[in-house]
Amino acid sequence: MAVVEATDLPVMVYDIPGRTGVKITDDTLARLAEHERVLAVKDATGDVEQGFERMEATGLEYYSGDDGLNFAWLTHGASGVVSVVAHADAHSWREMIREVDAGDLPGARAVAQRMRPLVRAIMGGGQGAVMAKEALVLQGRIPSATVRLPLVRATAAEVAALRDSLVAAGLL
């Protein structure tokens, strides 16, 4: 609550226990949801069922924070996605969201299936932010994939596999 009170801006709670080592409890989320500036949750817990229940209980907008689960989140009522992979291919995520919004779940599922290799290449082996930067360098969008410690650059093998995925997806 101290963080929420430190700003006049709207707040999106980021629930990512894999990065923080702490799960946001139902009680904590319920208390946060009572604050007028807490509007949404980026959920990267991997638990869509829990998120669906929390959406109902709190009335907060929910956004997928797990690129591999974006389709599942959207079909369970998420408002959208906060994506790492979209740095390399925002068009496909936009296409999938439009398909879900139009009620074309087979079309949306086809987009999600098409995206799986790129999601695995960026999120599967290394650290997502590191691999996203490498993808942007390969695409010529940024000049360097330099990261700050404790993150380290991707290996040559990881970059080669990423390049293959980008080529296969038609993004290089």
Question: Among residues 23, 48, 82, which one ends one of the domains?
Answer: 82
Predicted TM-score (pTM) of the model is: 0.89
Q: Do residue 105 and residue 50 come from a single domain?
A: no
Structural domain boundaries, residue 154? 86-167
Q: Do residue 127 and residue 60 come from a single domain?
A: no
Q: Do residue 144 and residue 160 come from a single domain?
A: yes
Task: Please tell me the distance from the alpha carbon of residue 49 to that of residue 72, in angstroms, as a whole number.
Answer: 10
23 is catalytic: no
Question: What tokens appear for 80 in the block?
Answer: 């959208």
42 is catalytic: yes
Q: Do residue 130 and residue 151 come from a single domain?
A: yes
Instruction: Label each residue of 113-126 as H, E or C.
Output: HHHHHHHHHHHHCC
Q: Do residue 102 and residue 75 come from a single domain?
A: no
Task: Please tell me the distance from the alpha carbon of residue 56 to that of residue 114, in angstroms, as a whole number.
Answer: 31
Q: Do residue 76 and residue 108 come from a single domain?
A: no
Q: Do residue 107 and residue 65 come from a single domain?
A: no
Q: Do residue 5 and residue 78 come from a single domain?
A: yes
In-domain check, residue 172: no
Question: So what's the pLDDT on residue 127?
Answer: 86
Q: Do residue 3 and residue 43 come from a single domain?
A: yes
Kindly name the residue from 42, 62, 63, 133 that is annotated as catalytic.
42
Question: So what's the pLDDT on residue 19?
Answer: 83
What's the structural domain count of the chain? 2
Question: What tokens appear for 55 in the block?
Answer: 């959406």
Question: So what's the pLDDT on residue 18?
Answer: 84
pLDDT per residue, tens digit, the chain (172 aa), is 999 999 999 999 999 998 889 999 999 999 999 999 999 999 999 999 999 999 999 999 999 999 999 999 999 999 999 999 999 999 999 999 999 999 999 999 999 999 999 999 999 866 899 999 999 999 999 999 999 999 999 999 999 999 999 999 999 9
Q: Do residue 78 and residue 20 come from a single domain?
A: yes
Q: Do residue 77 and residue 101 come from a single domain?
A: no
